[in-house]
Amino acid sequence: MSNLEELYCGVDDFCQQFIPLWHQQLIENGLLKRRRDASLSLSEVMTILILFHMSHYRDFKTFYIQHVKHYLQADFPRLVSYTRMLTLKQRALIPLCAFLSSRKAQTQGIAFIDSTKIAVCHHLRIPRHRVFEGVAQRGKTSTGWFYGFKLHWVIND
């Protein structure tokens, strides 16, 4: 079995469990809406989106037109146009976020901590600076003094 089949089976199994529960939680506004099935299933759309993020392509349009349309036509026989795929991506956002959050690993307790300065102006212009007046402050890093903010971040393993 290929990686694509394993990925699709995992996404499809998740969708079969998640979609009914998700539709039960949705709040209705009283208006009747058509729920027409698309030619691509939700799990197929999610699989294509996950493949895009696993690929080396920088933008989705190039990935879809040059890779999916040429090399994955046999795996996805009912492929839609790129513009239709953009509308199908919107439907897949919440299930995709739920799928990815269900697959994330537990942290090991190791974290990387770092900080950097975000200077808002040169130190000679501090008296005339008004954008972040009252919010920005003078600070010091290992490279010198600055006027602005200090950003601290923690990256979990």
Quick one: pLDDT at residue 110?
Answer: 83
Same domain, 95 and 126: no
Whether residues 92 and 128 share a domain: the answer is no
Residues 98 and 121 in one domain: no
Asked if residue 33 and residue 91 are part of one domain, the reply reads: yes
- Give the pLDDT of residue 112: 87
Percent of the chain predicted with pLDDT > 90: 66
Note the pLDDT of residue 39: 86
The C-alpha torsion from 129 through 130 and 131 to 134, rounded to 10°, is 100
- Structural domain harbouring 44: 3-102
Q: Which token pair is 121?
A: 């102006």
96 shares its domain with 121: no
| Residue 66 shares a structural domain with residue 129 | no
Shared-domain flag, residues 80 and 120: no
Within this chain, do residues 127 and 88 fall inside the same structural domain, yes or no?
no
Residue of 7, 9, 10, 4 lying closest to 73 (CA atoms): 4
148 neighbors 121 (Cβ within 8 angstroms) = yes
Q: Rounded mean pLDDT of 85-99? A: 92
Do 92 and 68 lie in one domain? The reply is: yes
User: Are 44 and 62 in a shared domain?
Assistant: yes
Q: How confident is the model at residue 25 (pLDDT cuts 50, 70, 90)?
A: confident
The pLDDT tens digits of the residues spanning 8-23 come to 999 999 999 999 998 8
Q: Which of 102, 127, 147 is the last residue of a domain?
A: 102
Confidence of residue 156 (pLDDT cuts 50, 70, 90): confident
Pair (52, 82) in one structural domain: yes
pLDDT tens-place string over residues 94-128: 999 999 999 887 777 888 899 999 999 998 999 99
For residue range 28-75, list pLDDT tens digits in order. Answer: 777 777 677 778 999 999 999 999 999 999 999 999 999 999 999 999
For residues 44 and 96, is the Cβ–Cβ distance under 8 A? no
7 lies in the same domain as 71 = yes
pLDDT tier at 138, thresholds 50, 70, 90 = very high
* pLDDT attached to residue 11: 95
Quote the number of domains for the chain.
2
